[in-house]
Amino acid sequence: MENSSPLTPLAVALGERAYFIHIGPAQSAAAVDAAASLLNGKRAAFIVTSPVLAAAHPALFSAFRAAGATVHTTSVDGEHAKRIGELERLWEALAAARMDRHGVVFAVGGGVIGDLAGFAAASYLRGVDFIQVPTTLLAMVDSAVGGKTGINLSAGKNLAGAFYQPRAVYADTALLATLPPREFAAGMAEVIKYGLLGDRALFDQLALAGRLSWDHPALPDIIRRCCASKAAIVSEDERETAPEGGRALLNLGHTFAHAIENVAGYGEYLHGEAVSVGLILATRLSAALGLLDASALPAVEHLLGKNNLPVALRKPLPVDALMDAMRRDKKVRQGALRFVLLRALGESITQFVDDDALVRRLWLEAGAGN
Amino acid sequence: MENSSPLTPLAVALGERAYFIHIGPAQSAAAVDAAASLLNGKRAAFIVTSPVLAAAHPALFSAFRAAGATVHTTSVDGEHAKRIGELERLWEALAAARMDRHGVVFAVGGGVIGDLAGFAAASYLRGVDFIQVPTTLLAMVDSAVGGKTGINLSAGKNLAGAFYQPRAVYADTALLATLPPREFAAGMAEVIKYGLLGDRALFDQLALAGRLSWDHPALPDIIRRCCASKAAIVSEDERETAPEGGRALLNLGHTFAHAIENVAGYGEYLHGEAVSVGLILATRLSAALGLLDASALPAVEHLLGKNNLPVALRKPLPVDALMDAMRRDKKVRQGALRFVLLRALGESITQFVDDDALVRRLWLEAGAGN
Tens digit of each residue's pLDDT (9 = 90 or more) over A255-290: 999 999 999 987 799 999 999 999 999 999 999 999
Closest CA to B42 of B100, B96, B93: B100
Closest CA to A121 of A159, A87, A96, A98: A87
Separate counts of helices (H) and strands (E) for chain B = 14, 12
Cβ atoms of residues A110 and A117 within 8 Å: no
Question: Within a domain: residue B191?
Answer: no
- Is B3 a residue whose pLDDT tops 50? no
How far, in Å, are A126, A135, A141, A236, A248 from residue A19 at the CA level? 20, 19, 16, 16, 23
Q: Tell me the β-bridge partners of A150.
A: A161
pLDDT of res. A15: 62
Q: Are residues B28 and B155 in the same domain?
A: yes
Catalytically annotated residue among A57, A193, A225, A251: A251
| Exposed e or buried b per residue across A337-350, where buried means at least 16 C-beta atoms within 10 angstroms of its C-beta | bbbbbbeebbebbb
3 state SS of A49:
strand
DSSP E strand stretches across chain B: 10-14, 17-24, 45-49, 70-73, 104-109, 129-134, 148-153, 156-163, 168-172, 332-333, 336-344, 347-353
Q: Are residues B31 and B99 in the same domain?
A: yes
Cβ atoms of residues A7 and A20 within 8 Å: no
For the whole model, what pTM was predicted?
0.93
**B306 classed as catalytic:** no
3-state secondary structure A50-113: CHHHHHHCHHHHHHHHHCCCEEEECCCCCHHHCCHHHHHHHHHHHHHCCCCCCCEEEEEECHHH
Question: Within a domain: residue B186?
Answer: no
Compute the nearest-CA separation of A314 from chain B (Å): 33
Q: What residue type is assigned to position A53 of the chain?
A: L
Q: Are residues B69 and B146 in the same domain?
A: yes
pLDDT of res. A7: 81
d(CA B119, CA B74): 14
Alpha helices in A210-343 (DSSP H): 219-236, 254-264, 271-288, 297-306, 319-327
Task: Pick B188 or A330 by higher pLDDT.
Answer: B188
Using a CB-CB distance cutoff of 8 angstroms, which residues of chain A are in contact with residue B330?
A: 100
Record: contact A154-B92, CB cut-off 8 A:
yes
d(CA B363, CA B256): 9
Q: Is the CB of residue A162 less than 8 Å away from at least one CB of chain B? A: yes
pLDDT of res. B366: 97
Q: What is the DSSP string of B201-234?
A: HHHHHHHHS-S--TT-TTHHHHHHHHHHHHHHHH
Residue at which a domain ends, from A178, A210, A240: A178
Q: Are residues B346 and B203 in the same domain?
A: yes
Q: Is the CB of residue B243 less than 8 Å away from at least one CB of chain A? A: no
Q: Are residues B107 and B256 in the same domain?
A: no
How far, in Å, are B17, B130, B192, B223, B343 from residue B12 at the CA level? 9, 15, 21, 14, 28
Closest CA to A255 of A193, A191, A162, A163: A193
Q: Is the CB of residue A243 less than 8 Å away from at least one CB of chain B? A: no
Using a CB-CB distance cutoff of 8 angstroms, which residues of chain B are in contact with residue A95?
A: 153-156, 159
Residue at which a domain ends, from B112, B144, B178: B178
Q: Is the CB of residue B124 less than 8 Å away from at least one CB of chain A? A: yes
d(CA B296, CA A277): 77
Residue at which a domain ends, from B148, B178, B208: B178
**A80 classed as catalytic:** no
**B258 classed as catalytic:** yes
Q: Are residues B172 and B218 in the same domain?
A: no
pLDDT of res. A71: 98
Question: Within a domain: residue B185?
Answer: no
- Is B297 a residue whose pLDDT tops 80? yes
Q: Are residues B353 and B226 in the same domain?
A: yes
Using a CB-CB distance cutoff of 8 angstroms, which residues of chain B are in contact with residue A125?
A: 159-160
Using a CB-CB distance cutoff of 8 angstroms, which residues of chain B are in contact with residue A330?
A: 100
Give pairs for B76-80: CB < 8 Å, separation 24+: B76/B50, B76/B51, B77/B50, B77/B51, B77/B52, B77/B112, B78/B50, B78/B112, B79/B112, B79/B152, B79/B266, B79/B267
Nearest residue in A to B96, CA atom = A155
Q: What is the DSSP string of B64-79?
A: HHHTT-EEEE-SS-SG
Question: Within a domain: residue B3?
Answer: no
| Domain CATH number, residue B336 | 1.20.1090.10
| CB within 8 Å of chain B, chain A residues 33-92 | 84, 88, 91-92
- Is A237 a residue whose pLDDT tops 60? yes
pLDDT digits (tens, 9 = 90+) for A172-183: 999 999 999 999
Question: Within a domain: residue B190?
Answer: no
Cβ atoms of residues A246 and A237 within 8 Å: yes
**A126 classed as catalytic:** yes
Record: contact B124-A159, CB cut-off 8 A:
yes
Q: Are residues A95 and A235 in the same domain?
A: no
Question: Within a domain: residue A370?
Answer: no
| Domain CATH number, residue A166 | 3.40.50.1970
Q: Could you tell me the pLDDT band of residue A3, with boundaries at 50, 70 and 90?
A: very low
Please give the residue range of the domain that contains residue B232.
198-365
Q: Tell me the β-bridge partners of B22.
A: B170
What mean pLDDT is reported for chain A?
93
Nearest residue in A to B102, CA atom = A241
- CA angle (B161 as vertex; B274, B164 as ends), nearest 5: 100
| Domains: count for chain A | 2
Q: Are residues B235 and B154 in the same domain?
A: no
d(CA A171, CA A310): 26
- Is B260 a residue whose pLDDT tops 60? yes
Q: What residue type is assigned to position A107 of the chain?
A: A
Count of CB pairs separated by less than 8 Å, A with B: 73
**B148 classed as catalytic:** yes
Q: Are residues A17 and A153 in the same domain?
A: yes
**Which of these ranges, A160-174, A350-364, B20-34, B325-339, has the smallest mean pLDDT?**
B325-339
3 state SS of B329:
coil
| Exposed e or buried b per residue across A281-297, where buried means at least 16 C-beta atoms within 10 angstroms of its C-beta | bbbbbbbbeebbeeebe
pLDDT digits (tens, 9 = 90+) for A56-108: 999 999 999 999 999 999 999 999 999 999 999 999 999 999 999 999 999 99
pLDDT digits (tens, 9 = 90+) for B215-255: 999 999 999 999 999 999 988 887 778 877 888 999 999 99
Q: Are residues B251 and B330 in the same domain?
A: yes
pLDDT of res. A335: 76
Which residues fall within 8 angstroms of residue B22, CB to CB, at 6 or more apart?
B9, B30, B168, B169, B170, B171
Closest CA to B252 of B180, B218, B203: B203
Q: Are residues A144 and A256 in the same domain?
A: no
Using a CB-CB distance cutoff of 8 angstroms, which residues of chain B are in contact with residue A15?
A: none
d(CA A87, CA A117): 8
Compute the nearest-CA separation of A214 from chain B (Å): 33
How far, in Å, are A211, B173, B195, B311 from residue B208 at the CA level? 83, 21, 13, 19
Q: Could you tell me the pLDDT band of residue A330, with boundaries at 50, 70 and 90?
A: low
pLDDT of res. B1: 41
- CA angle (A146 as vertex; A145, A151 as ends), nearest 5: 100
Report which secondary-structure segment, H or E, holds B61: helix B58-66
Q: Is the CB of residue A100 less than 8 Å away from at least one CB of chain B? A: yes
Question: Within a domain: residue A353?
Answer: yes
Q: Could you tell me the pLDDT band of residue B6, with boundaries at 50, 70 and 90?
A: low
**A271 classed as catalytic:** yes
- Is B21 a residue whose pLDDT tops 90? yes
- What's CA B42's distance to the chain center, in Å? 33
Question: Within a domain: residue A254?
Answer: yes
- Is A4 a residue whose pLDDT tops 70? no
